[in-house]
Structure formats: structure tokens, C-alpha cells
Amino acid sequence: MHLQVTCRARGLASVLVALPLIASGCTLELTFNPSPRATSSPTASPSPSSIALAEHCPGTDRTLGKPAGPAIDERSENWAGYVAYDTTAEVSCVEGSWVQPAITCALGGREDVAIWVGIDGVTSRTAGIDAAGSLVQIGTQAGCDAGQPGGFAWYQVLPEDPLSVRITTVTIAPGDRIRAMVGFADGAFTLQLADLTSGGTFSIVRSVSDAPRQTAEWIVEAPMIGCPDDCAIAPLPRFPQVTFSDAYMSTGAQRGAIDDDNWANGTTEMVRDGTVRASVSGLSVDGTSFNVTWRHR
């Protein structure tokens, strides 16, 4: 998806990551990977690896207590959340937690909301970021089919996976506390997800050729449905406020919160056809949590 966006003061656009040096009045061309989903059930997951679920992203905050890094805010057609990026170091890990929402379905039709953490998927020429060619993400989804709610865990490694891969070894229910992580080491990504309520875990190792590893994301998304033949953004089912917590990112030995002073960060509010679909709060004092609130389907 290619969008031309106009940034405003503290602004980051439709599907964007923005430069800390940008103040106002500029036009950026940005690309967000649209994370396609299948019209029917996603592909069943292969057998997970035997790697033990990591406790946290590696590294320590070597600059604890320093002022937060640059921040900007913008809009996306189908993403709501935070993006952090560092043009001087490669992202080696992203992690976050949330509670699987209990959604309210409309009377009929298809509605979906996906919640995930990931690495890459965003491009900004002005910021010197070109990471839309790959996207490594893992999370959960809640959806309605003909008014009936359901939910599952999934992951996707783009461009290798044209559709998301359903994780069949972990059963997700509303109210379950989820923790997810994407890490990179020794030339490969490890994607991990744990349902801390049920005790179910999933871990798999995947490779992506030449992944730039420039951005980290914590996102609530209106996913693409009808793919690969007729992709469209799904309407959002009504969901209670989703709170991301324990949100950290690592670049090498530096592990920090979303607003760590070693990198820049930005919010993206979901606005489509002139209507706010999901809004994003500011960060907590420690920079590791925020809320995404449903506004419109």
C-alpha cells in the first residue's frame, strides 16, 4: 500500500514512521505493509520449534533516566498503535503484552481486529527508512463471521507468507493475557507467543533474506480480508480498550521502552474515509504501555 501523506506538527502519517527532525508542513511518501489475511481460515501452523519461550528481549537500558526520544503522531487507514525506529542500529527484538478483547459483533457480515508486535513493514524516504519489503509479526485476532465471534493466534513472515499462518497449538479466549515477542539472532527470526492465562506457548524460527530490521511495532489493526484475490480492509468489531504493556525494544545490547532516548517513536491513529476508527493514548510514565480505543467499525 503506497500513500502520500502530509505531516503536521508532531505528525506521522497514514501508515508511517516519521523523522524526529520533521516539525510541520512537509509531505512524505510512506509505505506500510498491509498484513494480508485469508478470507477463510488461515493456513494451519507447522510444528513449533523446541526453543524455550524467552522471558524478555535481551539487553539492558544503559541510559536509564535520560529524556525520551523524539515523538511524532499521525494517521493510518488500518493501523493504530506505536512504531519505534532507529536509523543507526538494527532492531534485534520487540515484545509486548495485552489482554485478548471480548468483541461485540454487528448483526451480520465480516469484522476483524488483529493485535500484534512486529519488526519492519514501514518505509519513509525522509526518515531514511526502507523496511516495507519485509514484515515479521505475531499476535492474536478476534473476528465476527455472520455475527458470531471467534479468535485465534497467528503469525506472518512477509514476503515468504502471502497469508497469515494460524497457530493451532494455542487456544485463545477473551480475557486471556497474551505475551508476544519477535527476536533476531544468528541470521534468523524467532517468533514467540504465550497465553499466560491458559499456559499455551508457541515458538518458531524463520529466516527472511535481507530484512532491514529498522522498525518495531505494537499495533491494533483492521486486517486485510478477501486476499489474495480481492483484498479489502475489514470493518472493526466493537472491542473494549486494548492496553499494550511491557512494551520493549532492543537494538544490540540496548533494551528500552518505546520512548527510549536511543530511538524515535510515533503513534499512528486509525482514520479511514475521514472517520476515526481507533484512537491511541499517550505513553505511560515509564514508556512501556498505552491504550488503543475503538471508535467506529
- pLDDT score of 65: 77
Set of cell numbers at residue 14: 497514514
CA distances to 67, 89, 216, 250 from 263, in Å: 11, 9, 11, 10
- pLDDT score of 72: 76
- pLDDT score of 46: 42
- pLDDT score of 179: 97
What is the distance between the alpha carbons of residues 235 and 271, in angstroms, rounded to a whole number? 12
- Please enumerate in sequence order all residues whose Cβ is within 8 A of that of 52, keeping only pairs 6 or more positions apart, or say none: 203
Q: Per-domain residue ranges for the chain?
A: 2-294
Is residue 220 within 8 Å of residue 113, measured between CB atoms? Answer: yes
Q: 2-294 has which CATH code?
A: 2.60.120.700
- pLDDT score of 125: 67
Is residue 3 within 8 Å of residue 13, measured between CB atoms? Answer: yes
- pLDDT score of 107: 73
pLDDT per residue, tens digit, the chain (297 aa), is: 322 222 222 223 333 332 222 222 222 233 444 444 443 334 444 444 444 577 799 999 888 778 888 887 888 899 999 999 988 899 999 999 999 999 999 877 889 999 999 999 987 766 677 888 899 999 999 999 888 899 999 999 999 998 999 999 999 999 999 999 999 999 999 999 999 999 999 999 999 988 999 999 999 999 998 887 888 999 999 999 999 999 999 998 999 999 999 999 989 999 999 999 999 999 999 999 999 999 988
- pLDDT score of 126: 60
